[in-house]
Structure formats: structure tokens, C-alpha cells
Structure 1
């Protein structure tokens, strides 16, 4: 299976998970909306510096497909859900929850990603993924339940943030062939500016001190910016549902950091919830998908090497060396190998979007299956 995608998804999870407890530390000095604005501005401005350095050094190995006008609707949806609403809801939830429980509740993002992919975008979901999702939901329930039909006050805010990120993950899958650094930079700058202006104008908030602003920028750059770039690259290799499943490691990282930072109590409840979530994560990660399938003719632009899926002729203006980026055409290919629903393997099994094999999971992109 795709080790590159696995490493990228896990890197994204580690960076984001570790950032959550540190983000909670900021809430003592500012409002939730101010924190969301500074975190995302730090992400966007940091990645803008990366883009500038990349252009100045003219590194051909970092060439990526540009964004096009057709990408605009998905890009706006990504910015609105994940860049504006998601961080604000997370900060509101963190202000009403202990950091360890909040970190583990972020596992709900993988569930939201899977359900939206299945219900809205018509991707097939197998029994293994559904059972894993149920385990993660049980774990989240253990964390949020406070007895007598009461739910932790911050839990609903955090779950709503996870729904926003689930929408974002599915929309980002449609953008995964384009430059992930540019997408993450745009999201950070726009979303950070919106939240910061809202805090200053609507809430009449004051800017915190320079040290706090710098800390928020650093946390945002690593935990939101670099993490998002790694996640976008993971989507390219693994597809939305599986990248979201690997990303479910993030709350465990956040919980461990929270125990160290805040000396979290009620470790028994955290252990029970973590056990449920660990089983769910294992079910997601242990999937194997291998069968004969057909690639139909398709043309697109993305960064690639000349592997078995990229056997094409080059024109005089196409770049030399690998990996490289240019418009290319895939010819019909029928073969069998282990694969994820990456850019080249998002296919149905019978033409109607439903799998005859309950252990197959795919999403539509114009590919069809060999019977």
C-alpha cells in the first residue's frame, strides 16, 4: 500500500494533535475568535514565506499544478468550512472543555469525513470502516457523557467543528491534484483575516501582546499550515476516507500532550475512550484492497513520476526530470494490485456506485471496474 501517503497523513495528525493543547493555552489571553484568526494567519503567512522561498530558489522538484477557475467553488467551500467556521467552533469548544477530552473528541473528524463521503459524495463504505467508525463514536461518547443525560458543554462545539472539517476534507480531495501549499496559504490568509477582523470589529477585542501573537503564529504555522499541506498530499495518495482515518491519531497525540501540560485527571475515562478509539483506528488502518480494475481514458494535470499509471509521450515543451508536472493523458489500462482510492483509483464496482464486495471502498471520478 502507499507508504508515502501513510507517512504524510500521520505527520499531519501529529502536528495538528500536538497543537490543540497549546492552542488552549492561548485562550487565557484572548477570545476564541481572536485565537482562531491568529492561528490561521500564522499558517497563511508562514506558508506565503515558503512559497516565496520556493519561487526564489526555483526548485523544479516543488513544481505543482496551478489552481484553475474550475477549482474556485471547492476552494471557497474549503475556506468557509475549515478556515472560518471550524477553528472558531474548536476554540469555543476548547474554552468549555478540558484539553485531553477535547483532543480525543477530535476523532469525530474522521467519522464526519467518512459519512459525508458516503452520503453526499456517493463513495462506497465497507463494513470494516463502519465498525471502526462506530468504535470511535463510542469513545467520543465516553468522553462527552457526564451522566444524567448531560453532555459536556464544549463537546457539541467540537463535534460541529469536526463536521466542518469533514466537509473540507471531501472538498479538498477534489483539489488534491493542485498545489497544496498555495491552497493552504490562501485558506490561512483569508480565514485568519476574517476571524481577526470579526474579533476586532464585532467583539471590540484588543490585540494581545507581541509574545502571544508570535506564539499563535508559530502554533498555527506548524499545527494548521504544515499539517494541512501534509494532509492535502495524503489525500492525493489515499483518498478522503482513508486519510481521515489515519488522521484520527491526532487526538491521541493531543491527549498525551494535555496530560503533560495540564496534569489531566480522570485517566480511567480517558483510557476507556482511548481503547475504543484505538480499535476503531486499527480497523481503518488494517484494510487491504486488491483486485483487477480498469482505468478508462482520462486527462488531467498533477505532479507525477513515470510509474505504471503514467506511461505517456512528452511534447517538446513538457518538463524533463522526475517528478514533474504537466497535462497528460492516461490510456486504458487493466491490471491488479493493492491500491487506495487515490487520484487514479476512485472507481465504482458495477457502474451504479454500489460494490458487490462489502470490503471494497471507492469514490467516483470517472473510472470503472473490470468485472
Structure 2
């Protein structure tokens, strides 16, 4: 299985478990405060990982692997949408929505991520991927319907709004996905958590009990922090839309856990929506893309191995260990092989 697919599926499993567990905490923690604790847990846990890793390497960051000043606008934008606005909208919607339904509504993130990638950031797609997205949209619409022409499903719209924020986040993060995934996710967690904590205090919310705070922090590290690291690695290998497609299994993980943990009794529309979404995801998972393409000259830096796309010389003494990170130049080449819109295959069609 493609390395990027493994990263995306693991990210989906980790994040998919968040909705039902967060639902159990909402009775003890206010929504904005919970969003803050989830991201602070993510940021602090990943910061510890980052510092331990740096200590093990003698305090040295791999050359070319760390974030640069050019990355900051993309990182700040991704943090604002995905780390501040998105989680608050999710917690508000989740407070009055069954966790199983909320979990499936999170499929909207993949659809919106792909739409932005295709039509705003010009990422390639084909009819099979487009058809799959239509099926997921149909399932989402079915879940959001509340049976009245004049009834506005505000809770569902809040969750879909969170998904739009994360879709923007995903496309902005793609721009910096070649950099250190742990560093990216740690900064996003710490900044987003701190801002949400300030918003919670400003709204008059107080810290919960120690046990609830620790539970939220651990959940944030596992379902937000580790998931984001894996998601960034998947973006590096698959591109935005396809990573979002694989990530679409996350809501099914959450829905299944909701039914098992919380004993929810879903409406008939839940099962119909599940079938539509499952069909759409199957179309994504079975997609294949390959054609003759040309790589233009490219200079960048990221962790890599000396594969077919990395046949460069080193201007420093190299110990032969892989993967390694350093600035390197790709010479132009034309060839044909199966590929995805990874950091080396963002060509026009």
C-alpha cells in the first residue's frame, strides 16, 4: 500500500475517535473551553515529542526540514481557520447533535477540501473522484435534513462550517507539508489552544476539574495532535484532495464508536447516508492515475530518500543514512508512472 495512504488512514482513525469521546466531555466542559484544552493537549504533547527528538539528535534540526519565514503566512492562516474557528464551531454543533450524526457530517471536510483544492488551488481530479464527492455530498445533505422546509438545521450547519474551516486549513497546510510535520502540528496546537483558552475566559467559562482537563488534553494529543502529524505526511505524498478522500473514513470510525459507547439510536436516514458516503469513499479508494508527465526544474528541501525523483549529488559529506533532509535541486525529466499530486507531481494536465 502507498505510504501516503497509510498515513492518511491512520490519521483518519485517530481523528475519527474524537467526536464520541468529546461528546462525553461536553457535559463537564463548556464547548470553547473544550476546544482550547483539546488543542493545548495536542500542542504540549507534540512539543514534548519535538524536544525529546531534538535532544536525541544532539539539539540539531535537520537542514531544510524546519519551518522558514516564508512558511509563516500559510501556517498562521491554517492555524486561524483550523485551530481556532473550526473547533469552536464543532463543539457548538456537537453540543446539540447526536455524536453518530456529527461524525458522519464530518465527511463534509473531505468534500470541501477537494473542492478548494480543485477550483482554487488547481489540483488535478477526474470523473471518478468527482462522482465520489457527489455521493458524499448527497449523504451529508440527507443527514442535515430535519423534515421542515422552513427549519434551519443550525447544529448541522455549525459542524459543516467547522469542516469548511478545516478544508481551508488543509489546503494552506499543503503549502508547507514538506517541512517538519511535528513542528507544524505543535505550533498549530499551542497557538490555537492559547487563543481558544483566552476566548473561553473572556466568555466567562472556567477551567473544569483536573480529571476532565487531563482527559481533554490526552484526547487532544491522540486525536488532534498525532492525527495532524500523520495528515501532514499524507499531504506530502498524496496532495490535498486525495488525502481528504482517504481521511473520509474518519467519520465512520466516530459513528461506529458513538453507537457502541453512547448507545445512540440513529434515524433511518443515518443508514441511507452511510451507504451513500461509503460508495463515494470506495470510488476514491479505487482511483488510479498515471500518464507521461514532465518535471520542471525545482529547488526545495524536505526529508527524502534517493529514489527515482532524487538522483542528486551532495555538496556536503553524507553518511549514507536515509531519509535525510537538505536543500536540493531536481533536474527536468519526462517519464511515465502511476503517481499522485505529491510535492513532486503538481504539474498541469
Q: TM-score interval w.r.t. the shorter chain? A: over 0.9
Conserved? CA contact 2:54–2:60, under 8 Å: no
Bigger shift: residues 251-260 or 126-135:
126-135
Partner of 1:42: 41
* SS of aligned partner of 1:327: strand
* SS of aligned partner of 2:154: coil
Conserved? CA contact 1:54–1:62, under 8 Å: no
Question: How far has the Cα of 1:269 moved from its partner?
Answer: 2.3
Conserved? CA contact 1:96–1:153, under 8 Å: no
Distance 1:319 1:120 in 2: 42
Q: Within the alignment, does 1:26 sit opposite 2:33 as a pair?
A: no
> Structure 1 stretches (4+) deviating beyond 6 angstroms?
59-62
Partner of 1:363: none
Partner of 2:5: 6
Partner of 2:329: 329
Aligned residues, how many?
347
Question: How far has the Cα of 1:266 moved from its partner?
Answer: 2.7
Residue 320 to residue 62, structure 1, CA distance change in 2 (3 Å): farther
Distance 2:58 2:282 in 1: 38
Conserved? CA contact 1:304–1:323, under 8 Å: yes
Distance 2:262 2:153 in 1: 18
Gap regions ≥5 residues in structure 1: 350-371
Gap regions ≥5 residues in structure 2: none
Partner of 1:225: 225
Partner of 2:168: 167
Spell out, residue by residue over 1:84-105, the C-alpha distance to the aligned partner (whole angstroms, 9 max, x if none). 0110010011012010000000
* SS of aligned partner of 1:121: coil
* SS of aligned partner of 1:336: strand
Question: How far has the Cα of 1:316 moved from its partner?
Answer: 2.2
Matches within 5 A, 1:178-217: 178-200=179-201, 202-217=202-217
Distance 2:220 2:109 in 1: 19
Conserved? CA contact 1:290–1:336, under 8 Å: yes
Conserved? CA contact 2:25–2:212, under 8 Å: yes
Matches within 5 A, 1:4-153: 4-58=3-57, 63=62, 65-149=65-149, 150-153=151-154
Conserved? CA contact 1:173–1:232, under 8 Å: yes
Question: How far has the Cα of 1:318 moved from its partner?
Answer: 5.1
Conserved? CA contact 1:290–1:339, under 8 Å: yes
Conserved? CA contact 1:97–1:153, under 8 Å: no
Spell out, residue by residue over 1:11-65, the C-alpha distance to the aligned partner (whole angstroms, 9 max, x if none). 0000000111101111111211100000000000000000011011118999471
Task: Provide the aligned C-alpha RMSD in A.
Answer: 1.6
Distance 1:299 1:319 in 2: 22
* SS of aligned partner of 2:310: coil
Spell out, residue by residue over 1:90-131, the C-alpha distance to the aligned partner (whole angstroms, 9 max, x if none). 001101201000000000000110111122212233211221
Distance 2:166 2:189 in 1: 14
Conserved? CA contact 1:84–1:195, under 8 Å: yes
* SS of aligned partner of 2:300: strand
Conserved? CA contact 1:21–1:258, under 8 Å: yes
* SS of aligned partner of 1:100: helix
Bigger shift: residues 61-70 or 17-26:
61-70
The TM-score with structure 2 as length reference comes to 0.96
Question: How far has the Cα of 1:268 moved from its partner?
Answer: 2.9
Distance 1:38 1:79 in 2: 15
Distance 1:60 1:129 in 2: 44
* SS of aligned partner of 1:335: strand
